[in-house]
Amino acid sequence: MSLRKLVQRSLSLDALRNMVPDIEALALYSMKSWGHGHVINTYREMKRFSFEVGILSNFGYIEPRLKDELKKNYWIVDTGYNSFPSSIPGTQYKKALLARKRIGKILSEIICERREKKLVGRDLLSCLLNWKGEKGEILSDDQIADNIIGVLFAAQDTTASVMTWIVKYLHNEPKLLESVKAEQKAIEKSNEGNLPLSWNQTRNMPITYKVVLESLRMASIISFPFREAVADVEYKGFLIPKGWKAMPLFRNIHHNPEFFPEPKKFNPSRFEVAPKPNTFMPFGSGVHSCPGNELAKLEILIMIHHLVTKFRWEVVGSQCGIQYDPFPLPLNGFQARYWKESTS
């Protein structure tokens, strides 16, 4: 079994079904400090939440001590990995390199404990530990750590960016926000206000789900992938020779009026009809599509459910502008004040 298939198996629908209560608990914990009217950087909060979900899907349960150390060093790497590469002590890049080494040691400790106790789970780490190649080979601790770190990083920025855009889009569309709120309130009422959400409920949020899809289209967080032509390709009179690198621009496709009429307009109802093949690729396409796309959609839906049923918010400062960190997100992380809704 390929490593890609291992990741897919750890994030299969069967695996995700059992994660709903845990993801919901993480969402509620992440929002505990939101309801007092002070200014919150929405992107930063969403990133913290998506990191916790990443830990859950990668490890299941880990000791709080190790989790805290992992989190502390992860943020150092996250801050410095995209900075100017310099080995000068004290620079962000150098700090990131040192933090990456510490993360490797933390993961080695977690891996050793799993091996010694022969703990078996459905998380990614368990899948990697149990992997055997065709000739009986197994993955080294370094290979496992590299794959864990890669998946952990891949999950954070993109999902957090999408959730931040959704909050902005809903704020800009009051009528749509009320429709989403009504849908989620109905689900809350059917639960008699009790937790947790069920898997079936997360699969039955048609209005909210279309908002997620339209947000993915509008924001186009993954603007382009890097690909290589495996054969000579002729496109619009141009020859792309075999072996050349190609960079398809998903954003151009998602904003093409031929595929999406009035592409600059936020209109979730356009997804009442499935898009034409190869015109909507927020998670990539084919064998290179993101294996974590169902997890991302699940955590987004759970977060929206509790956001709109428990909070109201207003923007602080300018609503205009986009920044890249490195993915597109509202300027300054969409700073807003959040208040808890009255339960009466």
User: Binding-site residues for heme, please?
Assistant: 290
Show the tokens assigned to 142. Answer: 């370094």
Would you call the peptide bond into 326 cis, given omega within 30 degrees of 0 as the criterion? yes
- The single-letter code of the amino acid at 246 is A
Between the alpha carbon of residue 73 and those of residues 77, 81, 97, 173, the distances in Å are 6, 12, 10, 38
Scanning the structure block, which residue is given the tokens 């510490």?
102
Q: What are phi and psi of 61, to 5 degrees?
A: -100, 135
Sequence-ordered list of residues with C-beta below 8 angstroms from that of 233, at least 6 positions apart, any chain: 239, 240, 246
5 C-beta neighbours (distance < 10 Å), count: 12
Show the tokens assigned to 166. Answer: 């959704």
Helix (H) or strand (E) holding 314: strand 311-315
Task: Output DSSP code: residue 262.
Answer: S
CA–CA separation, 202 and 298 (whole Å): 7
Residues 9, 127: contact at Cβ < 8 Å? yes
Scanning the structure block, which residue is given the tokens 């995209």?
82
257 C-beta neighbours (distance < 10 Å), count: 9
Q: Is 314 exposed, middle or buried (0-12, 13-18, 19+ CB in 10 A)?
A: exposed
List, as residue ranges, the binding site: 290
Task: Report the DSSP beta bridge partners of residue 228.
Answer: 245
